[in-house]
Homo-oligomer: A and B are copies of this chain.
Amino acid sequence: MADYIPELGKADPNQLGICIYPLQGDRIQIGDYDKRFTIQSISKIISLCVAMEIFGAAKIFEKVEAEPSGEAFNSLVELDLNSNKPYNPLINSGAIAVAGMLIEEVSFHDMLRFARELCDDDEISLNRKVYESEMSTCSRNRAIAYLLESKDIINSDVEDALRFYTKMCSLDVTADSLANFANRLANDGVGNITGKRYLSSETVRIVKTLMLTCGMYDGSGTYAVEVGIPTKSGVGGGLLAVSDKRAGIGVFGPSLDPKGNSIAGCRLLKEIAGKLRLSLFYDTNLITADRIDYSLTEFAHRHDK
């Protein structure tokens, strides 16, 4: 677990839950699907969505590149050495830069409202304990933020941007909430029952592309080969996976690999993706409960042992 944030170190490493919400067919919920955990880096997707809607792609990519970095999520090297812009909005430096833009237009309260709406979950709220734990151990993010200021990437108040960023990371969600959000991303930004558009087609397309190329930190390329579903991980143990035109998937499993991705969660998604041929480059069959049920139950069973 992410024991560099003391409060996160307390989670039970054996938890595992998944929710699959297909565009057509029934919702599938297994294990700890309704357990609350902090969203952490998956909040970068919410922030990016909102920033895309407010500023548009062009303005964002003036501040942040769209390139995978080949470096760890919290690296300063790539920022200082190779570039005057963060590599992409899904690593810390890029997300803090986006936070610096957002705080000039929206409040954290606005963001909380967006998060609840996008995830269709009114119980999303700030986990104060985690937030305070993170703020007291965020020297590296603070270093990144001031480096961004020194490079004119952040022009707003650095401490405000950092607090905003850290609050967004400290939202309590469930695998269920993430599946709701992912479902709408899979459906071009539109609620698949109501038909309501939450995000523009362009926003959704760009966000999914970045999730595929940069969503799993410096393991993104390997994950794309092995799983092939746009996914964003968080060190709280969450995974937001968008099986485009088929289903939204939320996973919770707090044991992390060295790159910061959920071990059981990634293994589970790899297994499902393999069995159901969910890679972007396979066919486009629907995901339905009967195709999925067996493997999941079996996986959870194996995971317990």
Contact = CB atoms under 8 A, between A and B. Distances in A.
Interface stretch (A20-28, A126-134, A216-224): A216-224
Interface in A59-88: 61, 65-71, 75-78, 80-82, 87-88
B221 A66 contact: yes
A222 B65 contact: yes
B282 A284 contact: no
A80 B77 contact: yes
Contacts of A222: 61, 65-67
B219 A67 contact: yes
A244 B283 CA distance: 10
Interface centre among A149, A209, A218 (most CB of B within 10 A): A209
Interface stretch (A100-108, A140-148, A232-240): A140-148
A285 interface: no
Interface of A: 57, 61, 65-71, 75-78, 80-82, 87-88, 139-140, 142-147, 149-150, 158, 201, 204-206, 208-210, 212-214, 218-222, 224-225, 228, 230, 244-245, 279-282, 284
Q: How many of these chains are in the complex?
A: 4
A281 B150 contact: no
A188 to B, nearest CB: 8
B143 A213 contact: no
A281 B204 contact: yes
Given A147-B143, A150-B140, A205-B228, A68 B68 contact: yes
A228 B145 CA distance: 31
A88 to B, nearest CB: 6
Given A212-B212, A213-B212, A221 B67 contact: yes
B75 A80 contact: yes
Contact of A213 (B66, B139, B213, B245): B213
A187 to B, nearest CB: 11
B280 A209 contact: yes
